[in-house]
Amino acid sequence: MPGPEQQVPADGDRAPRPARPEESADVIVVGAGPAGSTAAYHLARTGLDVLLLEKSAFPREKVCGDGLTPRAVKQLTDLGIDVSEQAGWLHNQGLRLISGRRVLEFDWPELSAFPGYGLVRRRADFDELLARRAASAGARLVERANVAGPLVDERTGRITGVTAKLGDERRPVSYRAPVVVAADGNSTRLSVAMKRYRRTDRAMGVAYRTYFTTPRHEDRYLEAWLDLRDPTDPARRLLPGYAWVFGMGDGTANVGLGVLDTADIDLDWRDLLRRWCEGLPPGYGYSPDAVTEPVRGSALPMGLNRRPHYADGLLLIGDAGGTVSPGTGEGIAYAMESGRYAAETIVQALARRTDRGRELALAAYPQALRSAYAGYFALGRLAADLLGRPRLLGAAGAVGLGHPALLKVAFRLMVNLTEPNSKDALDRLLHLVGRVAPGR
Ligand X SMILES: Cc1cc2nc3c(=O)[nH]c(=O)nc-3n(C[C@H](O)[C@H](O)[C@H](O)COP(=O)(O)OP(=O)(O)OC[C@H]3O[C@@H](n4cnc5c(N)ncnc54)[C@H](O)[C@@H]3O)c2cc1C
Rounded to the nearest whole angstrom, what is the least distance from the CB of residue 305 to ligand X in the complex? 12
Query: Cα–Cα distance between 17 and 142 in angstroms, integer?
Result: 15
Nearer to ligand X, 57 or 437 (CB): 57
Is 40 an interacting residue with respect to ligand X (CB under 6 A)?
A: no
Stretch that binds ligand X, among 33-41, 230-238, 265-273, 425-433 (CB under 6 A): 33-41
Rounded to the nearest whole angstrom, what is the least distance from the CB of residue 86 to ligand X in the complex? 23
Q: How many residues bind ligand X (CB under 6 A)?
A: 41
Question: Contact with ligand X (CB under 6 A): which of 29, 53, 166, 238?
Answer: 53
Is 31 an interacting residue with respect to ligand X (CB under 6 A)?
A: yes
Nearer to ligand X, 163 or 262 (CB): 163
Is 183 an interacting residue with respect to ligand X (CB under 6 A)?
A: yes
On the question of a cis peptide bond just before residue 59, with omega within 30 degrees of 0, the verdict is yes
Query: Per CB under 6 A, which of residues 66..125 are in contact with ligand X?
Result: 66-67
The residue of the chain with the least Cβ separation from ligand X equals: 331
Q: Can you spell out the DSSP letters for 61-118?
A: ------EE-HHHHHHHHHTT---SGGGTPEEE-EEEEEETTEEEEEEPP--SSS-S-E
On the question of a cis peptide bond just before residue 9, with omega within 30 degrees of 0, the verdict is no
Stretch that binds ligand X, among 85-93, 191-199, 263-271, 317-325 (CB under 6 A): 317-325
Stretch that binds ligand X, among 27-35, 227-235, 375-383, 421-429 (CB under 6 A): 27-35
Rounded to the nearest whole angstrom, what is the least distance from the CB of residue 119 to ligand X in the complex? 10
Query: Cα–Cα distance between 309 and 293 in angstroms, integer?
Result: 36
Rounded to the nearest whole angstrom, what is the least distance from the CB of residue 127 to ligand X in the complex? 6
Is 349 an interacting residue with respect to ligand X (CB under 6 A)?
A: no
Is 150 an interacting residue with respect to ligand X (CB under 6 A)?
A: no
Contacts (Cβ under 8 Å, ≥6 apart) of 131: 32, 37, 52, 54, 58, 141
Question: Contact with ligand X (CB under 6 A): which of 26, 40, 48, 54?
Answer: 54
Dihedral (Cα; 307, 323, 188, 135), 10-degree rounding:
-120
Residue 17 gets which letter from DSSP?
Answer: P
10 close to 41: Cβ distance less than 8 angstroms: no
Rounded to the nearest whole angstrom, what is the least distance from the CB of residue 405 to ligand X in the complex? 26
Nearer to ligand X, 132 or 358 (CB): 132
Is 318 an interacting residue with respect to ligand X (CB under 6 A)?
A: yes
Query: Cα–Cα distance between 411 and 89 in angstroms, integer?
Result: 24
Stretch that binds ligand X, among 57-65, 224-232, 348-356, 393-401 (CB under 6 A): 57-65
Rounded to the nearest whole angstrom, what is the least distance from the CB of residue 53 to ligand X in the complex? 5
Stretch that binds ligand X, among 19-27, 48-56, 111-119, 231-239 (CB under 6 A): 48-56
246 close to 66: Cβ distance less than 8 angstroms: yes
Is 319 an interacting residue with respect to ligand X (CB under 6 A)?
A: yes
Query: Cα–Cα distance between 299 and 190 in angstroms, integer?
Result: 17
Is 303 an interacting residue with respect to ligand X (CB under 6 A)?
A: no
Phi and psi dihedrals of 75, rounded to 5?
-65, -40
Residue 371 gets which letter from DSSP?
Answer: I
Beta 27-30 vs 50-53: how paired, if at all?
Answer: parallel
Query: Cα–Cα distance between 373 and 375 in angstroms, integer?
Result: 6
Nearer to ligand X, 146 or 418 (CB): 146
What is the x/- site pattern for ligand X, positions 322-341, by CB under 6 A?
--x----xxxxx-x------
Question: Contact with ligand X (CB under 6 A): which of 94, 161, 240, 297?
Answer: 297
Q: Can you spell out the DSSP letters for 171-231?
A: EEEEEE-SEEEE--TTT-HHHHHTT-PBPTTS-EEEEEEEEEE-TTTT-SEEEEE---B-T
Positions that interact with ligand X (CB under 6 A): 30-36, 53-56, 62-67, 146-147, 183-186, 189, 207-209, 256, 297-298, 300, 318-320, 324, 329-333, 335
